[in-house]
Amino acid sequence: MSRRFVINLVQGETYLQKLNGTTKLGLFLIVMVYTMMSFDLRLLLPLFILSWIGLASLKPNYKLILGLFGFIFFMNFVNIILYYAVNQDVGSSYLNGTRTVLIQFNSYWYLTIETLWYLSVRQFKMMTSFMISMVFILSITPGELASGMSGLKIPYKISTITSLAFRYIPEIFNDYETIKMSMQARGLELDKRRLNVFKRLKENLMILIPLIFTSFDRIGNIANALDLRGFGQGKSRTYYCEDPVTSRDKLFRGITILLIIFCISFMVYQNVNHFGMWFPFKI
Amino acid sequence: MKTPLIVFDNFTFKYDAQVEPTLHDINLTLYEGEKVLILGQSGSGKSTMVHCLNGLIPYSFKGKIQGSLTIAGVDTLHTSIFQLSKIVGTVLQDSDAQFVALSVEDDVAFALENKSMPKKDMIPLVHYALNKVGMIDFLKQVPFELSGGQKQKVAVAGILHEDVKILLFDEPLASLDPVSNLRTVEMMDEMAQDGKTVIVVEHRFEDILHRKVDRVIVLEEGRIVFDGDVNRLLQEDILRKNGLREPLYVQALRMAKIDLKGLSLNQVQDVDFAHFKKQLSFLNDKHPLPPQKERLPLVEVKDVSFAYDPKKLVLKNISFKLYKGERLALVGQNGAGKSTLAKLLVGVIRPLSGSIEINGEDIKIYSIAEIANRIGYVMQNPNTMIVKHMIKEEVSLALTLRKYSADAIDKAVTEALTITGLESMSHWPINALSYGQKKRLTVASILALKPEVLILDEPTAGQDYRHYTEIMDFLNEINVSAGISFIFITHDIHLAIEYTDRALVFSDGSLIKDARIFDALSDQSILERASLTQTSLYTLAQKCGFEPERVIENFILHKGLYE
């Protein structure tokens, strides 16, 4: 059953997986800031390459990853086409106003080098953040995420809720399947060949009622289980799944600090100098 | 010598939402190291007593307390649930709710994490606890891969931290197969041997008696009506007086009109049945096989196999017939293929190979809803079936969805409500019903379609004996009056013995026995493969040198007369 998920519920044996939860979460957050802060291909390209190396080190199920990669690529590509359709000069507004027509399709439609560059970098940036997220998701377990969050001084009740969600969402999904089965047997038509989307949504509501009630029962039981096992007694709690901080964690934490310093200086510099994005084809 | 550990002193508790107290004037002292069983019907106050012991009362359930409850010298009114959880460990009935973490070792460490124990101190404790319950090889397993019995062991390991004195089990046997039940009873016994005080609330008295119990408390309407040892409990006929199930061997002795005074009845092994061989000889009577009536096959399953993953067959070449009016039991471990078969029968999934026929027609051409007109499915928990607010709406739902005319709906609904004895409540809101009535309602809502077969998944799980008898007798009536065939998916051997004609035993996706339940139960190799256990009648038969299958048969025959 666990193999159906992309996420790992139990820690694996590879280099990145062995890192401490706080290290992973901290690094992930700063790398996301790094990706967000600029449209500079010189910054994004090394990260993209590194993320593939990171992914390879996790020995993932490539079929699944490439499928997801294709899907995300497609969704962002549609997004980019829309950007282009709305404003064919979108690139110029980011690239200090220059405008070099590359192809003139007809009297109305054209493509400028600036727009092509801007949109390509945009797509690349999205794919980089997708890759980073993938590496992060594959290298961490929900338990480690919870311990990582508490390591970053986030209240542990919040982090426990995230790991409880991972625990019980599959159970609720099973309940849904069972209820669906009994409702279908009573004559509820859910066949997509017979009904349109809205009708089906309406019919699905019928399943939701018992699902909500059984889930409430479940939540009540879980809440009692948490109380009975002393959850919430102290200001903090420890984590069994937390790995000890090793020299490799120190290395990665060092990198994280350097990245924080770099990102802050970059953003300050960018705001003071108001420079646009890096564009190698400036005429 | 004996140290009092739990002291109820004139203890009365009333929930804020209720008018009458649920526990009345309880005076009870439990001693260190005792193994105590609490019996009582639903609503007798057992769960409330458990909640008082583990601190959920007054922490989570608000109400008014009079008198006092002292545990290990601490008044529970003046302590926190956290302090109490260090002394009292609770194993909840719902082992899924108790398994809050995502791996076995994390879950066992959960209480220790909450105490902010450093990781290096937790590791040996977690390993010790998992060793104790025999789950050390499952350290890194996720809950989705574990069986109910395994989850329960993890739950026990999770409360075995260093200074816990009292282990509280709330209906630990409700959802396990018979062999897992025995293992649980043995595990509870080992904990008691280790010096823990073990308190068990459970309906399945006969299973609990697999190991010795020091003391039994019987609750009735919030009062203690019995407090003593098993022997006295059975001799004084307390169980029957309070609507609870007696162990089968005791019932057999009573049928034979044997005076129980002075006998040692603690466990079936203790009873000297051979001494009463003469009185018990009616259990060995030979009956001619009933004349084979002309039986009409209703459902025919022909060489059906099924797999979700093409490499792994979940059901392998299953063939059997269900005759008109027959009551069939599907038994076997969780994951043996029973529910998969039920899903195939109602058409939610379709066979990989082979066919399923109703009255000679292959069901593959029919939709799920069409099959439902002939084979109905009643789920274990009524709350997972009920979608409407009013009884009438709920029963008519299947017909409304099929766009029947108002007249036809009215007629069918009235009929279904009459059969199920709910006609006087037809305009009631559903939330006014008890659990047993809800069960009837779900049966009525399926009966409205006039199916020929009803599949029932664990129809009596978690019910006390009175409700169990009520539900099963009610189903029996429908079987006789409406001629409907039944398929029961169950772990409960008693149910299979008393209320079914034939058993299909499943193991690992194969149908390993298709026979009368008496015959299936006397085949040791089948029992082992299917994780079933013998009832105490088997021991009785052995001690007297009787034929076990004949004893079971005669027992059922005489049971009707005796009651």
Confidence of residue B430 (pLDDT cuts 50, 70, 90): confident
What is the rounded distance in angstroms from the CA atom of residue B375 to the CA atom of residue A177? 19
What is the rounded distance in angstroms from the CA atom of residue A212 to the CA atom of residue B214? 42
Please check whether residue A276 lies inside any domain of the structure: yes
Instruction: Tell me the average pLDDT of chain A.
Output: 87
Q: Is the peptide bond before B172 cis (omega within 30 degrees of 0)?
A: no
A196 plus A121 within the same structural domain: no
Q: What is the pLDDT of residues A152-171, one digit of tens each?
A: 888 998 888 888 988 898 88
What is the rounded distance in angstroms from the CA atom of residue B170 to the CA atom of residue A224? 13
Q: What is the pLDDT of residue B431?
A: 82
Strand partners, B28: B8
Do the Cβ atoms of A22 and A148 come closer than 8 Å?
A: yes
% residues pLDDT > 90 (chain B): 49
Q: Please tell me the distance in Å from B386's CA to the nearest CA on chain A.
A: 6
Question: Cβ separation of A214 and B343 shorter than 8 Å?
Answer: no
Please check whether residue A147 lies inside any domain of the structure: no
Q: What is the pLDDT of residue B137?
A: 92
A225 plus A281 within the same structural domain: no
Residues ≥6 apart with Cβ < 8 Å to A128: A35, A44, A47, A48, A51
Residue that finishes a domain, picked among A206, A222, A240: A240
Q: Which of B371, B366, B418, B363 is nearest to B392 (CA)?
A: B418
A236 plus A246 within the same structural domain: no
Give contacts of A 191-210 with B, CB under 8 A.
191, 206, 209-210
User: And the tokens for A238?
Assistant: 């420890």
- The answer to whether residue A184 scores a pLDDT higher than 60 is yes
Element (H, E) at B37: strand B35-40
Using CB atoms, which residue from A9, A166, A186 is nearest to B398? A186
What is the rounded distance in angstroms from the CA atom of residue A256 to the CA atom of residue A245? 15
Interchain CB contact of A12 with B (< 8 Å): no
Q: What is the pLDDT of residue B562?
A: 65
Q: What is the pLDDT of residues B262-291, one digit of tens each?
A: 888 888 888 889 889 888 888 888 877 766
Q: What is the pLDDT of residue A2?
A: 37
How many angstroms from the chain centroid is the CA of residue A106?
A: 40
A73 plus A180 within the same structural domain: no
Question: Cβ separation of A210 and B383 shorter than 8 Å?
Answer: yes
Give contacts of B 471-510 with A, CB under 8 A.
none
Please check whether residue A146 lies inside any domain of the structure: no
Chain B residue numbers with beta carbons less than 8 Å from the beta carbon of A143 are 101-103, 106
Q: Which of B485, B506, B496, B532 is nearest to B321 (CA)?
A: B485
Rounded to the nearest 5 percent, the helix, strand and coil shares of chain A are 70, 0, 30
Q: Which of B187, B182, B195 is nearest to B169 (CA)?
A: B187
Strand partners, B375: B453
Interchain CB contact of B367 with A (< 8 Å): yes
- The answer to whether residue A82 scores a pLDDT higher than 90 is yes
A165 plus A266 within the same structural domain: no
Helical segments of B424-547, H only: 435-447, 465-482, 493-499, 517-521, 524-529, 536-544
Q: How many helical (H) and strand (E) elements, i.e. helices and strands, does chain A have?
A: 9, 2
Confidence of residue A101 (pLDDT cuts 50, 70, 90): confident
Confidence of residue A3 (pLDDT cuts 50, 70, 90): very low
Confidence of residue B556 (pLDDT cuts 50, 70, 90): confident
Please check whether residue A148 lies inside any domain of the structure: no
Interchain CB contact of A174 with B (< 8 Å): no
Provide the whole-model pTM.
Answer: 0.85
Question: Mean pLDDT across the stretch B500-520?
Answer: 90
Interchain CB contact of A226 with B (< 8 Å): yes
Q: Which of B522, B516, B554 is nearest to B535 (CA)?
A: B522
Task: Fill in the DSSP letter of residue B145.
Answer: G
% residues pLDDT > 90 (chain A): 43
- The answer to whether residue B162 scores a pLDDT higher than 80 is no
A169 plus A128 within the same structural domain: no
**Domain tally, chain A:** 2
Q: What residue in A sits closest to B141 (Cα-Cα)?
A: A10
Do the Cβ atoms of B121 and A240 come closer than 8 Å?
A: no
What is the rounded distance in angstroms from the CA atom of residue B38 to the CA atom of residue B36? 7
A164 plus A235 within the same structural domain: yes
Residue A259: CB atoms within 10 A of its CB come to 17
A177 plus A215 within the same structural domain: yes
Question: Cβ separation of A2 and B106 shorter than 8 Å?
Answer: no
Least confident of A73-82, A234-243, B323-332, B505-514: A234-243
Please check whether residue A117 lies inside any domain of the structure: yes
Please check whether residue A178 lies inside any domain of the structure: yes
Interchain CB contact of B82 with A (< 8 Å): yes
Chain A residue numbers with beta carbons less than 8 Å from the beta carbon of B101 are 143, 163, 167
Please check whether residue A101 lies inside any domain of the structure: yes
A38 plus A52 within the same structural domain: yes
Do the Cβ atoms of B325 and B483 come closer than 8 Å?
A: yes
Residue pairs between chains A and B whose CB atoms are closer than 8 Å:
175
Give B420 or B224, the one with higher predicted confidence: B224
Q: Please tell me the distance in Å from A53's CA to the nearest CA on chain B.
A: 27
Interchain CB contact of A175 with B (< 8 Å): yes
Q: What residue in A sits closest to B50 (Cα-Cα)?
A: A228
Question: Cβ separation of A238 and B126 shorter than 8 Å?
Answer: no
- The answer to whether residue B329 scores a pLDDT higher than 90 is yes
Q: Please tell me the distance in Å from B432's CA to the nearest CA on chain A.
A: 15
Q: What is the pLDDT of residues B60-119, one digit of tens each?
A: 888 999 999 999 999 998 888 998 998 999 999 888 899 999 999 999 999 999 999 999
A112 plus A66 within the same structural domain: yes
- The answer to whether residue A276 scores a pLDDT higher than 70 is no
- The answer to whether residue A77 scores a pLDDT higher than 80 is yes
Q: What is the pLDDT of residues A194-247, one digit of tens each?
A: 667 777 787 788 888 889 988 988 899 999 999 999 898 888 899 998 888 899
Give contacts of A 50-69 with B, CB under 8 A.
none
Please check whether residue A113 lies inside any domain of the structure: yes
Least confident of A63-67, A140-144, A162-166, A185-189: A185-189
Do the Cβ atoms of B428 and B448 come closer than 8 Å?
A: no
Question: Cβ separation of B119 and A183 shorter than 8 Å?
Answer: no
What is the rounded distance in angstroms from the CA atom of residue A83 to the CA atom of residue A120? 12
Question: Mean pLDDT across the stretch A43-68?
Answer: 91
A59 plus A107 within the same structural domain: yes
What is the rounded distance in angstroms from the CA atom of residue A61 to the CA atom of residue A58? 9
**What's the domain range around A252?**
1-141+242-283
What domains does chain B contain, in order, with CATH numbers? 1-87+163-230 (3.40.50.300), 299-547 (3.40.50.300)
What is the rounded distance in angstroms from the CA atom of residue A115 to the CA atom of residue A138? 34
- The answer to whether residue A127 scores a pLDDT higher than 80 is yes
Chain B residue numbers with beta carbons less than 8 Å from the beta carbon of A233 are 80, 82, 114-115
Using CB atoms, which residue from A10, A142, A233 is nearest to B114? A233
- The answer to whether residue B1 scores a pLDDT higher than 70 is no
State the first-to-last Cα distance of chain A, in angstroms, to the nearest integer. Answer: 57
Do the Cβ atoms of B253 and B539 come closer than 8 Å?
A: no
Do the Cβ atoms of B496 and B331 come closer than 8 Å?
A: yes
Q: Look at phi and psi of residue B202 and say left if phi exceeds 0, alpha if psi is from -120 to 50, else beta.
A: beta
A124 plus A261 within the same structural domain: yes
User: And the tokens for A106?
Assistant: 């007809």
Residue B309: CB atoms within 10 A of its CB come to 7
Q: What residue in A sits closest to B394 (Cα-Cα)?
A: A186
